[in-house]
Amino acid sequence: GGSGGSGLKDTYTVASDTSFVPFEFKENGEYVGFDIDLINAIADEVGFEIKLETTNFDGIIPGLQTGSFDIALAGITITDERKKTVDFSDPYYDAGLRIGVSVDNKDINSIEDLKGKTVATRLGSTSADYIKKNIEGAEASQFEQLDQVYLAVENGSADAVLYDSPNVAYYIQTKGEDSLKMVGELYQAEQYGIAFAKGQDELVSKVNEALATLKENGKYDEIYEKWFGE
Ligand code: ARG
């Protein structure tokens, strides 16, 4: 359906990450996940088509800035720093940072225990900043791809992973049950937002309206339940 005289486009290029379970990941050759379902529901609600493009996380915000992408969903934390270069929707998901260590690790039980350690995370993520700013003497070992992050802990080249709580929890539940465990608490609460190339105010407000509608009519809950329900 057309955009009925508004300034909206018929199709928007939407960037997402190649792998960030359970928000976006490839299954049987197709991208699936919470972010994918959410943007499809929003696009239906507002009335636009999406062209999905996936790239490593650290390429997403630069791609919005250069105009390669219009919109991005990738579990992107809303920060003041990022607001200088992109716009954000209202928050759509509450998360935070958590620690994962090898199942037989007895020494690391909290953030204090990460001092001077090698901590694996994803390139360009809020956890990489957190490690550099808040954990004395720790080395942030940053990887381009998700599997490399967990593999680093599994093969002992990193002492721990510090990454987004839903990702650490989901990875351990689905793949890492025998090798990894989560320890400590939620460090640094964060909220995810849909990011936009600047200069699309009408689109941002339409997306916010759609998000509110989906939260009211139960569709958001359905999607949440699908990916995070027991
Ligand atoms: N929430 C963190 C951030 O915004 C990490 C996001 C990672 N997302 C991803 N798709 N790899 O920096």
Say if residue 26's pLDDT is above 90: yes
Q: Which of 18, 54, 76 to mutate to test the pocket of ligand 1 (most atoms within 8 A of CB)?
A: 76
Q: What is the per-residue pLDDT for 2?
A: 47
Strands (E) in the chain, as ranges, are 11-17, 25-27, 30-32, 49-55, 71-72, 87-88, 93-102, 118-122, 139-143, 160-164, 180-192, 195-196
Domain boundaries, the chain: 11-92+193-228, 95-190
Question: In the numeric block, which tokens belong to residue 81?
Answer: 């720093």
Q: Which of 23, 54, 58, 126 to mutate to test the pocket of ligand 1 (most atoms within 8 A of CB)?
A: 126
Atom of ligand 1 nearest to the CA of 125: 12
Dist. CA 44–CA 51, nearest whole Å? 13
Alpha-carbon torsion, ordered 132, 134, 137, 139, to 10 deg: -40
Say if residue 5's pLDDT is above 80: no
pLDDT digits (tens, 9 = 90+) for 142-191: 999 999 999 999 999 999 999 999 999 999 999 989 999 999 999 999 99
Residue 148, φ and ψ in degrees, nearest 5: -65, -35
Dist. CA 74–CA 22, nearest whole Å? 10
Matching CATH topology for 11-92+193-228 and 95-190?
A: yes
Question: In the numeric block, which tokens belong to residue 150?
Answer: 């967990």
DSSP three-state, residue 208 = helix
* pTM of the complete model: 0.94
CATH number of 95-190: 3.40.190.10
Q: Give rounded-to-5 percent helix, strand, coil for the chain.
A: 35, 30, 35
We find that the CATH architecture of domain 11-92+193-228 is 3-Layer(aba) Sandwich (3.40)
Tell me the mean pLDDT in the region 198-210: 98
